[in-house]
Amino acid sequence: MSDAHRAVERLLYAYADAVDAGDLAGVGTLFGDGRVCAGTPDGPVTLAEGSTAVEAFYRSMVRLYDDGTPHTRHVTTNLTLDVDEAGGTASASSTYTVFQATESLALQPIIVGRYRDTFRRREGAWTFESRTMTTDLTGDLSQHLLG
């Protein structure tokens, strides 16, 4: 596996770690001027673009508890990653499963879906260009999402 493959793969895991730590500013930083999208039958719909908007989007959606975290673990699996080192671009598809446990919710999977990601290299560093999230299965999201 090349250094570029490893760098892009680390971005996938950095996203999961940042969300689980409640570091929503860090989530925004991973995107730079990239965007977060919802997967729909008609194609991706942009939900937020740019680090500030991505952070604000997550703050408007994710419930954080007294310890500053959402009490979740995002697990990313089934990764397929293609890197064009010469062009400075990459694309990936993966499956996500989010587990959650709170005082009123026993440990359980709360959502399963797919990520379709694009990346680009800028000034030697890889960043998200886009993340399109599609939901396949849902459980009890009442302790995870606001509103």
Domain ranges of the chain: 3-138
Residue 2: the pLDDT is 87
Class of domain 3-138: alpha beta
Per-residue pLDDT of 26-50, as tens digits, reads 999 999 999 999 999 999 999 999 9
Residue 1: the pLDDT is 74
Nearest to 131 by CA among 41, 42, 31: 31
State the Cα torsion 82-73-110-24 to the nearest 10°.
-80
Nearest to 80 by CA among 67, 95, 93, 71: 93
Centroid of chain to Cα 129: 12
The ranges of the chain with pLDDT < 70 are none
Measure the CA–CA gap between 44 and 146, rounded to whole angstroms. 23
Nearest to 76 by CA among 8, 9, 28: 9
Which long-range CB contacts under 8 A does 45-53 form with residues at least 24 apart? 52/28, 53/28
Per-residue pLDDT of 47-69, as tens digits, reads 999 999 999 999 999 999 999 99
